[in-house]
Amino acid sequence: MPCNLPSVSLDSSHAWCMQRHPLSNPSQEVQSAWQACPFVKKKWMTAQEAVTYVDLFFRNMALMSPILDGYFADHAHHQELVAKEPILCCTILTLSTRYHLLAGVASLSRGFILHERLWDHCQSLLQRVVWGEGPRMVESRGAIGTIESFLLLTEWHPRSFLSRHRWIKDSGMEWPEDDEPSEKSIPSDWYERVVEPARRGDRMSWMHLGSAVALAHELDLHSLYHDAHNIPHNEAHNPETQARFARRCERLQRLLFISINQLTSRIGHATSKQPFHPAIRDTIHGPAISTEAGWHDFVTCWIDLTRLMRSSTELLFPTKIRKDVWFRNDHYVELLKHFRPLLQQWWDKYHPISDAVPGLLHDLLLVEYHFVRIYINSVTLQAIAARTTGETNSSLRHPFEIDDHDSSSVREIVDGCTAILQIVLRLSDANQLKYIPNRVSVRIASAAMYLVKALAIGVQADELNSSLNLLDRSLEALGSASVDDMHLMANYATLLASHMRALRNRFVCVSNTVTADISRAPSSFEPLLPFSPDLTSPSNLTDSGNSDIDRWMVLPFDPSIAEPFEQGITQNIFGLNMRDSVGSFWDFLP
C-alpha cells in the first residue's frame, strides 16, 4: 500500500540550490597552465572547473568591490595567477566555490566539499604568513596578493566560519565560558543563526584586516613601487609590469584606510588617531598615480565619506554622560548643522562625476552615502527618546511633540533608508544582490531597522503603507538572494520579515491618543538634499501643516528606539541587546 508523503515546497529562500553555472571553455594552453595548480594535481577539481570559478568570481563578485582590477580575469594571465600568486589564487577559488554552483553530477555536494577543502588550505597558507614561514609568501609581489586576499576575506566570508561547531572538533577540549550571553529575550534560535555568526564574522574580518595592515607596514607600500629591486630581474625592464605593481600598491594604501575606519566604526572599537604608517597617510592625501579615472574618483569620494563617518562618530556619539547633557540643551542640533553642509558638499562633488564610476560601484557608494546620512541624523532618535522618557509617563507620543529640526532629521532618515531599499530592489532585478559584500549587507540590515524606528516617531498613513510595502519587497528580495542556508543576509531578512507582519498591527492613530487642541505638525517634512530621479525617489509628502491629524500613525513608545547602531551589528543587532534581559525594541510585538 503506497504511503502518502507530505509534499515539499521550495520557497524563494532555497532558490540558491537550484541555480547552476555552465563551465567555461578555456583554450588548451590555459588548461595546461592550471595543471600546475595543486588543487588540479590532487584532482579536487578539473582545470576547466578552476577556470570557471575564476571567471565567475570576476564576473559576479569582483565588480562589487574595488580590491581587484580585471587583470586576472584575462585568461592570458592565469598562468601568472597560478604560479606567482598562490594565496590570492586560493582565496579567489575559496570564495567563488561558496557563491557559485557549477553544472554537473552531484555539483551541490561537490561544491560544498570543495569549498571546505579550499578554505582549509587557504588558512594554512595564511598561517604560514602570520608565523613567518615560507619566504616566497612574503616577497614583494606575493605579499601584495596576500594583502589583497586578507581584504577579500573581509568582504566575503567562508561558509564554515559562520558555524561555531566548525571549531569544536573535540568537545573535551572546549574551555568553559563564565559569561554566557543571555538568550532569553531572543526568539527561537536567532542567537545561533544570526547574532553569533555576525559577531564571529566581524571578529574574523578585524583580525584579517589587522594582518593586512601589519604586512603593509612591513613592506612600506608607499615606497615599494619606487624601488626597482622589488620587481623580479627578468621583468624589471617591462614598464607595464612595473606600472601595474605601482597601481596595486596605490590601491591597497587607499583601501586599507577605508577598511580599517569602516570596520572600526561598525564593530564599536575606538578609532585610532594614527592607524597607519605615515607614508600610507601621505599617499591618501597626495596625488593619484592610477590611470583608472573612474576607480580613482570612486575611491576619493569613498575616502571623503569615511572621514565624515569617522568625525561624526567622535562628535555625535560620545560618552553617555555627555550625550545626556547634549540632549537636554540641544547641543546635538548645532552639531547636525555642522554635518549637513558637509553631506551637501559631498553630493555636489560626487554627482557631476558619478557617470565615470563603474555601475555596481556607483550603487554601492550610494548605499554608503545614504547610510552616512542615516547614521548622522540617528542621534535625533536618541534625543527624542531621551526627552520622551524623561518628560512623560505616557507610552504614546505623536509627531507634534518634536520640533522642526528634529522632524527634518527624521525625514532624512526615512529618505535615506528608502533610497537604500530601492537600490536593493534594483540589484535584485539585475540578479546581483546575492554577491554583495558583507559590509553592504550590514548597511542594508541597519537601514531597514532605522526605517522602522523612524516611522515609529510618527508618519502619515499613506507613507507608512508605502514604506512598509517597500520594506516587505526588499526583505523578499534579500531572502531570495541567499547563497546557501547559512547565508546571513537571508537570516536577516527572515528575522525582519517575521516582525514586520506583527509590526503593521501595532501602529495606532494619533487622533485616538492626543487632545483636540493640537492643530499642526512640524513644517519641515521635506528632504534636505537634492536627489536625481534615477538615483532615488523621495517621499511625496503633502504639507504637514495641512494634513489631517487622523492620517498620522505612531507606535507605542519604547525607549529602545534610541539604541544606536554605531556600535555595530556584533554588539547590538536589530535592537536586541544580547547581555541585557530587559525588554528590547521587538519585545512588545506579539
How would you write 42-76 as a 3-class SS string?
A: CCCCCHHHHHHHHHHHHHHHHHHCCCCCCHHHCHH
Q: CA dihedral in degrees (309, 313, 315, 317; nearest 10)?
A: 150
Domain annotation covers residue 341:
yes
Domain annotation covers residue 407:
yes
My answer on whether 25 and 134 are in the same domain is yes
My answer on whether 279 and 330 are in the same domain is no
Closest by Cα among 257, 227, 258, 225 to 244: 225
My answer on whether 226 and 331 are in the same domain is no
* Whole-number Å distance between alpha carbons of 235 and 244: 12
pLDDT of 533: 34
My answer on whether 391 and 513 are in the same domain is yes
The single-letter DSSP state of residue 269 is: P
Q: Which positions of the chain have pLDDT values less than 70?
A: 1-17, 134-141, 162-191, 224-237, 269-292, 318-329, 389-401, 510-552, 556-590
Domain annotation covers residue 529:
yes
My answer on whether 257 and 151 are in the same domain is yes
Domain annotation covers residue 304:
no
My answer on whether 350 and 272 are in the same domain is no
Which of these three, 235, 263, 285, is where a domain ends? Answer: 285
Helix (H, G, I), strand (E, B) or coil at 286: coil
Instruction: Count the Cβ atoms, other than its own, within 10 Å of residue 342.
Output: 16
Which of these three, 267, 285, 303, is where a domain ends? Answer: 285
Helix (H) or strand (E) holding 554: strand 552-554
pLDDT of 352: 87
Distances, alpha carbon 344 to alpha carbons 299, 347, 383, in Å: 18, 5, 23
Residues 448 and 470: beta-carbon distance below 8 Å? no
* Whole-number Å distance between alpha carbons of 250 and 183: 45
Domain annotation covers residue 462:
yes
Instruction: Count the Cβ atoms, other than its own, within 10 Å of residue 233.
Output: 8
* Whole-number Å distance between alpha carbons of 416 and 447: 8
pLDDT of 282: 54
* Whole-number Å distance between alpha carbons of 572 and 570: 6
Ranges assigned E (strand) in 334-478: 459-460
pLDDT of 203: 86
Distances, alpha carbon 30 to alpha carbons 75, 189, 449, in Å: 7, 47, 48
Q: How far apart are the first and last CA of the chain?
A: 44
Helix (H) or strand (E) holding 552: strand 552-554
pTM of the model as a whole: 0.82
Domain annotation covers residue 250:
yes
pLDDT one-digit tens code per residue, 365-376: 999 999 999 999
My answer on whether 373 and 265 are in the same domain is no
Where in the sequence is the domain holding 85, given as residue range(s)? 12-165+187-285
pLDDT one-digit tens code per residue, 526-542: 333 333 333 333 333 33
My answer on whether 372 and 497 are in the same domain is yes
My answer on whether 333 and 239 are in the same domain is no
My answer on whether 275 and 347 are in the same domain is no
Q: What is the 3-state secondary structure (H, E, C) of 507-543?
A: CEEHHHCCCCCCCCCCCCCCCCCCCCCCCCCCCCCCC
Which of these three, 259, 285, 311, is where a domain ends? Answer: 285
Domain annotation covers residue 130:
yes
> What's the domain count of the chain?
2
My answer on whether 341 and 269 are in the same domain is no
Domain annotation covers residue 19:
yes
Closest by Cα among 36, 88, 34, 33 to 58: 88
My answer on whether 275 and 358 are in the same domain is no
